[in-house]
């Protein structure tokens, strides 16, 4: 009876996670031009947080004490930042982004995904990818006499901003490739190669440079034998830690450098943001008032997820975010059971972190479920039988099975 109840709760957790993913991709696949979709877009922070909170409640009994501590820190972060809402011109649900990240990762970690569940997820993401790619190649505006494959064709928008379309395609490929590897079926490798081509060609056509660069890095690493990465697994710790610790000071140096222009003019946006961030100790620690940058009459955001984190939560929130990511990466990589499948998900998630140096998606509620799901899957145990579980079964459960 108890086993049946546990399965039912796990099914509900799967449905919630799949629902979050469907809602996120619906925005970018169909656009937000009609009233219903724009209303959904405006309500995503509330919807995602409520769904993730229900998932945490369902999975709470399975969790280790250290994960309970992370949940308490997530809740405390909301209470803490709400206290400064007047200064930051924020609101309750805007203060839940850090908690949403922690809740999403832990929900994925403790939800059991058997092979059929992962195939179903592949189907969901695959359908959105096919629709998106079809729309890219049939609706893209083309300058007369210029091929869609030419770098001179630089569309800013199709049915939505091209960088948003690029991020959607990128995350779809990053989710599908490791999931296909997890099925441990030989012919799925053919689909993986096809996804490489579909993803990179689509990103080239829409000229989404950050997403194209990040996916290229992922493809180049993913085609390498994962056994090498597993043997040299401590490199993953160094890469993650070095990148996340240095990203803020490096971005700061680039913003004020007069000789370096690596990010297509985004440095000007970053410099303007840092002026605002450093206005006072309070704005630096807990975040300044909302930031916008206007260039040639166009309103722009941070164009850097790490600056967006500093803008939303200040240094305190930024440290909490990178601490959560680094802790989980170090924990999973340090285990003797660390597998090539987990390495694949970590590589995919690092590609998201790379793309986030030029885009704002990492902290946005409508991107969190489709990006941090990769970190959540990396924390799961590969049991070598085609299933990935939240935790290895303990000795007691093994004895019980033998008795039966």
Strand partners, 381: 389
pLDDT score recorded for residue 402: 47
Tens digits of residue pLDDT in 299-335: 677 888 999 999 999 999 999 999 999 999 999 999 9
Domain that holds residue 193: 2-403
CA dist., res. 392 & res. 396, Å (int) = 12
| pLDDT at 400 (0 to 100) | 46
Instruction: Extract the tokens encoding 358.
Output: 């030029």
Task: Report how many domains make up the chain.
Answer: 1
Least confident segment among 46-60, 146-160, 328-342: 146-160
DSSP string, 81-100: HHTTHHHHT--TGGGGHHHH
pLDDT at 141: 85
Q: What backbone phi and psi angles, to 5 degrees, belong to 231?
A: -65, -35
Single out the residue of 251, 172, 237, 253 nearest to residue 211, CA to CA.
172
Local confidence band at 4 (pLDDT 50, 70, 90 cut-offs): confident
Residue 404 pLDDT grade (very low, low, confident, very high; cuts 50, 70, 90): very low
- Beta pairing partners, 317: none
* Mean pLDDT calculated for residue range 13-22: 96
Mean pLDDT computed over 192-213: 94
Q: Once rounded to an integer, what is the mean pLDDT over residues 67-85? A: 95
- Please, what is the average pLDDT of the chain? 88
81-138: pLDDT as tens digits: 999 999 988 889 889 999 999 999 999 999 999 999 999 999 999 999 999 999 999 9
Per-residue pLDDT band for 391 (boundaries 50, 70, 90) equals very low
Instruction: Read off φ and ψ for residue 298, nearest 5 degrees.
Output: -100, 130
How high is the pLDDT of residue 83?
Answer: 93
Q: Give the integer Cα–Cα distance in Å for 183 and 385.
A: 9
Which pLDDT belongs to residue 395?
A: 40
In the three-class reduction of DSSP (H, G, I as helix; E, B as strand; rest coil), residue 178 is classed as helix
- Per-residue confidence (pLDDT) for residue 294, from 0 to 100: 75
pLDDT of the residue at 261: 63
At a CB cut-off of 8 Å and minimum separation 6, what does 103 contact?
49, 52, 53, 55, 56, 71, 74
pLDDT digits (tens, 9 = 90+) for 219-234: 999 998 888 888 888 9
Helix residue ranges, H only, 223-297: 226-231, 234-256, 266-277, 281-286
């Amino acid at each position: 009876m108890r086993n049946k109840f546990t399965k039912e709760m796990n099914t509900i957790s799967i449905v919630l996670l799949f629902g979050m993913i469907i809602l996120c991709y619906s925005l970018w696949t169909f656009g937000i031009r009609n009233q219903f979709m724009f209303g959904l877009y405006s309500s995503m922070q509330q919807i995602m947080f409520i769904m993730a909170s229900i998932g945490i409640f369902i999975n709470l009994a399975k969790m280790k004490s250290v994960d309970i501590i992370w949940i308490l820190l997530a809740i405390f972060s909301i209470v803490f930042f709400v206290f400064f809402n007047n200064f930051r011109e924020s609101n309750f649900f805007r203060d839940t982004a850090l908690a949403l990240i922690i809740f999403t990762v832990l929900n994925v970690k403790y939800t059991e995904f058997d092979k059929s569940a992962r195939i179903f997820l592949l189907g969901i993401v695959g359908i959105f990818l096919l629709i998106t790619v079809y729309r890219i190649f049939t609706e893209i505006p083309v300058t007369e006499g210029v091929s869609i494959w030419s770098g001179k064709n630089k569309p800013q928008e199709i049915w939505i901003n091209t960088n948003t379309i690029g991020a959607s395609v990128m995350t779809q490929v990053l989710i599908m490739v490791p999931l296909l590897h997890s099925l441990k079926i030989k012919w799925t490798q053919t689909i993986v190669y096809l996804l490489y081509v579909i993803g990179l060609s689509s990103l080239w056509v829409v000229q989404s440079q950050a997403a194209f660069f990040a996916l290229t890095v992922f493809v180049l690493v993913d085609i390498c034998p994962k056994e090498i990465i597993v043997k040299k697994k401590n490199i993953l710790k160094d890469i993650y830690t070095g990148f996340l610790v240095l990203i803020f000071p490096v971005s700061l140096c680039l913003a004020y450098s007069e000789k370096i222009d690596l990010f297509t003019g985004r440095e000007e946006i970053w410099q303007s943001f840092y002026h605002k961030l450093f206005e006072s100790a309070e704005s630096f620690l807990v975040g300044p008032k909302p930031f916008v940058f206007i260039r040639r009459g166009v309103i722009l955001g941070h164009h850097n997820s790490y600056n967006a984190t500093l803008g939303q939560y200040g240094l305190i929130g930024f440290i909490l975010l990178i601490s959560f990511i680094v802790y989980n990466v170090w924990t999973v990589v340090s285990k003797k059971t660390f597998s090539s499948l987990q390495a694949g998900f970590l590589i995919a998630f690092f590609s998201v972190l790379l793309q986030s140096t030029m885009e704002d998606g990492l902290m946005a509620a409508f991107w969190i479920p489709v990006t941090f799901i990769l970190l959540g899957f990396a924390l799961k145990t590969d049991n070598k039988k085609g299933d990935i579980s939240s935790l290895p079964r303990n000795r007691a459960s093994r004895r019980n099975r033998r008795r039966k």
